[in-house]
Chains A and B, each alone.
Chain A
Amino acid sequence: MTTPDTATSASKARTWRYRVVPYLLIAPAIVYLAMFFAYPMYEGLVLAVYDEDALLPTRDEPNLDGSEVSKIPQGTALAIVDRSSQEVVGDENPDALTDPWYQVTADDPTGSPITGWVSEARIRVRDEDAAGAPVSGTVRPRLAATSDPLTDVYEAPNDRSEVIGKLEQRAPVEITDVALLEVWFQVRPADDPSAAAGWAPSRFLQVFEDGENGRVHRGTDGEFTTAFIRRMIDDRFFGPAVRTTLLLMVLIIPAQLVLAMVMALVIHARTRLSTGFLYAFSLPIGMSDLAAGILFFSIFTGNGLLNSILDALGIIDGPYAFLTADTVRWIIFAIVLAELWRATSIVMVILVAGLQAIPDETLEAAELFGASYFQRVRHIMLPLLRPSIQVALILRTILAFQVFAVVIALGGGDVVTVLANESYRQYFGLRNNNVASAYAVFILLLSMASAFFYLRAVRSEPEARPT
């Protein structure tokens, strides 16, 4: 006998377990969703609306310790005020203008030894060690008669540090160290002479040949922007891509649904041939969309199957070019056919599964109460298939927004373009990740909106679900 006390604590433990176990079970799913779904989606979204290079901060001193003067947007034309060098921080950057300095030991004009830093521009390297590092050299002569013939030696690798001595031209020097300096420019926006000038490293700037003008190449501070989305919408391919994608959807999905329903009914009829039909109908599921596109390309191309047949029948003399820029309708037609051929079987499989979930006795009851075959389809099968149709529609619409390989194979991607192709063009052709992401996010939003629409519009009332 359990006392009431132990009984309640036992039942408490049990309810606790019942509450926690489901969450433990779905934990891997949540991790999975976060890693492979939410995170990439978040990244894509950020790429589409956030410009990482938007602003370049300038400083009051030509080094990273200087305090910020202003932020200049990427692309702004600049007037260059001054120039300086600073030891490079971080790794080497291909965009940086660099300026090596040598630490040298030599005798000054008075004959006393001196050690300090000299710009590479003032030293001719004579010897290098096995690794290619300079070992010794001479001070370059100065050709201009007006300038000081002696070369300044600085305390540190920096032309703002103290001059600790001078060297005569052609004096031999020993090189003991090398410092790589990056050039910094003091700049102000070209169209605003009153603005305060600030220092920025050369790697973020583009300096024109005259050395007095330039522009901000890229910034280091990010900024939310609709620029990429505007660029996507203003793109000359955007309109055609949206129109073609929607046109393909409107042409393909209803036809596909009807075809798939007929195929599913043929299989569900359980004739001797049903299994054969199932295999035949589902064959295209195993084929990639690109392969399907190429298959239909081979049918519609100049000396392809279709032309051969038409020629053999004497309907045309000589091949007709179906897939050209002048025959966009034929390209669309070929794409529709290829997509119907390729993806209808997936819809069919969903509908067959749905049909099989309808108990035989339910259909027999309808038959017994006098429903003809078409009445059974209309009054029993279609209503009970509603959840399956909903799933099929969502799946097909989402896939229709992603249509790509078939379009590329049959239309090349320029004459007839779709949203996924534009994302691809921006990413690989124009190397613009942000606009490519904007397209991707656009496709995602359209998919989500359509799924939401179907869930609302084709909603099966909870009571109507098969029990």
Chain B
Amino acid sequence: MAEIRIEHVTKTFGDNVAIDDINLTIEDREFLVLLGPSGCGKTTLLRAIAGLGMADSGRISIGGQDVTYLPPGQRQISMVFQSYAIFPHMTVHQNIGFGLLMNKVDKAESDRRVRSAAELLHIENLLDRRPSAMSGGQRQRVAVARALAMEAKVLLMDEPLSNLDALLRLEMRAELKRLLADVEATTVYVTHDQIEALSMGDRVAVMLDGKIQQCDAPNTVYESPSNQFVGSFIGNPPMNFMEGTIQRDRDTVTVAVGEHEFSPPEALQPLIRDLSSDRITLGIRAENMETLAAPSSDTVPVTIEVVEPLGAQNLLTARIGGHRLKVSTHPSLDVAAKQQVYIRLPADQIRWIDPATESVLYKR
């Protein structure tokens, strides 16, 4: 059992609050991804779990044991650093076996573990080399092998793929996912790459400004973002947003965007009616809109500004009521710029956002 429990952890650097009253529980053997833009506090939170850089306040426990004041070496964790932090004066073998040597694992067992970790990462033929004679990708494998050889209950990874080139990153992403599925460790994986987060994590915790905005399964985070930031940060292209005006009639509420009117789903109508102002933001993902060549009952006529063929889909840029929308279409639909098309925005795919709090409205 290695459940990580983070309670009210805060860390400031001078006046700069790096992480702000974080509460998070990571289940035993869960793969949790910490996702957020650069500078949002991901590394700081990970280091707090590792015990590098003491938190200012709050409690951290691992596997039921309070580790708040334990030094990193005694927390039964291992870690892959963003810079890899490989020891340049040691061979690959010595690097991978370093933690085992420090923890007085006996020689035969240590050799076995070094070898199997190296085999997992396909670097068994590099064991006698030194890091300076290796490529970035190979160093990254050494760093991962060193962490795996510890066979710790908790594995922390700080942007392990961010220093690799795009192709290698794609390859390593799949390989890491396969590897970590076999390693039965509770894993906290930090990244600023939303695709990495969605593709790897059991759960994704999206961070901004030292706070966790949402922590859910990748699908949930994608489909039902808790606020406008999460919607805009996750997905490529990001979620489209439009400003609308609430029109409160006697029994229904409608939202006007330019000359178009949208009717929110039944269940959300009371929530929207109760908003304090007339302003509301609509969010919808590119692939949730339907593009039609001919008008139909609930479609909006738009003029296409740009067509971007991306192979698997075509990305159209269209305008509704002064807002640019990205709409993805099947490549079989034959469209060109300046052409008029009709797009359907299904009401249940629209996310309704209170502009005052920027949080998405969901029925309770």
Binding site for B on A (CB under 8 A): 359, 361-362, 364-372, 375, 379-380, 383-384, 386, 462-467
Q: Are A464 and B130 in contact (CB under 8 A)?
A: yes
Which of B78-86, B165-173, B176-184, B304-312 contacts the other chain? B78-86
A369–B88 contact, CB under 8 A? Answer: no
Measured in the bound complex, the distance between the Cα atoms of B51 and A430 in whole Å is 69
**Whole-angstrom CA separation of A365 from B98 in the bound complex:** 10
A367-B73, A369-B99, A372-B73 given; 5 more Cβ-contact pairs under 8 Å: A359-B83, A366-B102, A370-B73, A370-B74, A386-B89
Q: Inside 8 A of A462's CB, which chain B residues have their CB?
A: 132
A361 and B83 within 8 A (CB): yes
Pairs of residues from A and B, 5 with the lowest C-beta to C-beta distance, nearest first: A369-B99, A370-B102, A365-B85, A361-B85, A463-B130
Q: What's the Cα separation between A367 and B83 when bound, in Å?
A: 16
Contact call A371/B102, Cβ cutoff below 8 A: yes
Known: A463-B130, A463-B132, A465-B132. A368 touches B79 (CB 8 A): yes
B85 touches A364 (CB 8 A): yes
Cα A60 to Cα B30 in complex, Å, equals: 110
Query: B52 contacts which of A367, A379, A380 (Cβ < 8 Å)?
Result: A367
Q: How far is the CA of A315 from the CA of B217 in the complex (A)?
A: 79
A/B interface sample: 25 pairs, CB < 8 A: A364-B52, A365-B79, A365-B81, A365-B86, A366-B87, A366-B102, A367-B71, A367-B72, A368-B50, A368-B77, A369-B99, A370-B99, A372-B73, A379-B98, A383-B89, A384-B88, A384-B89, A386-B89, A463-B132, A463-B133, A464-B88, A464-B89, A465-B88, A465-B132, A467-B132
B102/A375 in contact, CB under 8 A: yes
- Indicate if the CB atoms of B72 and A368 lie closer than 8 Å: yes
With a cutoff of 8 Å between Cβ atoms, the chain A residues found around residue B88 in the complex are 362, 384, 464-467
By CB atoms of chain B within 10 A, which of A364, A369, A379, A384 has the most?
Answer: A369
Instruction: List CB contacts (< 8 Å) of B122-176 with chain A.
Output: 130-133, 146, 150
Set of chain A residues within 8 Å of B87, measured between Cβ atoms: 362, 365-366, 379-380
Chain B nearest CB, measured from A382 CB (Å):
10
- The answer to whether B99 touches A362 (Cβ under 8 A) is no
Residues of chain B from 58 to 75 with CB closer than 8 A to chain A in the complex: 71-74
Known contacts A364-B81, A463-B133, A464-B130; A369/B89 CB under 8 A: no
* Complex Cα gap A379–B102 (Å): 10
Query: How far is it, in angstroms, between the C-alpha of A462 and the C-alpha of B88 when the chains are bound?
Result: 11
B83-A368 in contact (CB<8A): no
Q: How far is the CB of B212 from chain A (nearest CB, A)?
A: 24
Q: Are A368 and B130 in contact (CB under 8 A)?
A: no
B103/A370 in contact, CB under 8 A = yes
Chain B positions within 8 Å of A466 at CB level: 88-89
Interface size on B (CB < 8 Å)? 28
Within the complex, what minimum Cβ distance (angstroms) separates A77 from chain B? 69
CA distance A204 to B141 in the complex (A): 82
Q: Determine the chain B residues whose CB is within 8 A of the CB of A379 once the complex forms.
A: 87, 98
A359 vs B81: C-alpha distance in the bound complex, in angstroms?
Answer: 12
How far apart are the CA atoms of A368 and B49 in the complex, in Å? 11
- Measured in the bound complex, the distance between the Cα atoms of B87 and A149 in whole Å is 106
Complex alpha-carbon distance, A462 and B150, angstroms: 29
Q: Are A368 and B52 in contact (CB under 8 A)?
A: yes
Q: Give the residue name and chain of the A residue nearest to B156 (CB).
A: A368
Cα-based distance from A364 to B81 in the complex (angstroms): 9
Cβ–Cβ < 8 Å partners of A365 in chain B = 79, 81, 85-87
Does B133 lie within 8 Å of A368, measured CB to CB?
A: no
- A354: min CB distance to chain B, Å: 13
The CA-CA distance from A362 to B102 in the complex, in Å, is 15
- Closest B residue to A365 using CB positions: B85
Q: Which residues of B contact A463 (CB under 8 A)?
A: 130, 132-133
Taking CB as reference atom, which chain A residue is nearest B131? A467
Closest chain B CB from A158 CB (angstroms) = 83
Q: Nearest-CB distance from A170 to chain B (Å)?
A: 102
Residues of B within 8 A of A465 (CB): 88, 132
Q: Mark B88-103, 1 if CB is under 8 A from A, else 0.
A: 1100000000110011
Most buried by B among A375, A384, A386, A463: A463
- CB pair B85–A371 under 8 Å, yes or no, is no
- List A contacts of B102 (CB < 8 A): 366, 369-372, 375
When C-beta atoms are compared, the residue in chain A nearest to B132 turns out to be: A467
Q: Knowing A367-B73, A369-B98, A370-B103 touch, does A362 contact B85 (C-beta < 8 A)? A: yes
Contact present for A369 and B83 (CB under 8 Å): no
Bound Cα distance A458, B132 (Å): 19
- CB-CB under 8 A for A361 and B98, given A368-B73, A464-B88: no
**A368 vs B98: C-alpha distance in the bound complex, in angstroms?**
11
A365 to B87 Cα, complex, angstroms: 9
Which chain A residues lie closer than 8 Å to B133 at the CB level? Answer: 463
Beyond A361-B83, A464-B89, A467-B131, whether A366 also contacts B98 by CB under 8 A is: yes
CB-CB under 8 A for A359 and B52, given A369-B146, A370-B102: no
Give the residues in chain B near A366, CB-CB below 8 Å.
87, 98, 102
A386 nearest CB neighbor, chain B only = B89
Using CB atoms, name the residue of chain B closest to A368.
B72
Q: How far is the CA of A364 from the CA of B51 in the complex (A)?
A: 10
Closest to B73 in A: A370
| Distance in angstroms between the alpha carbons of A359 and B85 in the assembled complex | 8
Question: For residue A369, which residues in chain B have a CB less than 8 angstroms away from its CB?
Answer: 73, 78, 98-99, 102-103, 146, 150
What is the distance, in angstroms, from A356's C-beta to the closest C-beta of chain B? 16
Nearest residue, chain A, Cβ from B72: A368
Neighbouring A residues of B150 by C-beta, 8 Å: 369
B125 CB to closest chain A CB (Å) equals 17
How far does the Cβ of A218 sit from chain B's closest Cβ, in whole Å?
A: 61
A428 and B88 alpha carbons, distance in the complex (Å): 53
Q: Which residues of A contact B85 (CB under 8 A)?
A: 359, 361-362, 364-365
CA distance A18 to B133 in the complex (A): 26
What are the residues of chain B within 8 A of A380 when measuring CB–CB? 87
Give the distance in Å from the alpha carbon of A368 to the alpha carbon of B79 in the complex: 8
A386 vs chain B, min Cβ distance (A): 8
Closest-by-CB residue of B relative to A462 is B132
Contacts of B72 in A (CB 8 A): 364, 367-368
Residues of B within 8 A of A361 (CB): 81-83, 85
* Contact residues in B for A359 (Cβ distance below 8 Å): 83, 85
In the assembled complex, the Cα of A375 lies from the Cα of B101 at a distance in Å of: 11
Q: Closest Cβ of chain A: how far from B143's Cβ, in Å?
A: 9
B-side contacts of A386, CB under 8 Å: 89
Give the residues in chain A near B78, CB-CB below 8 Å.
Answer: 368-369
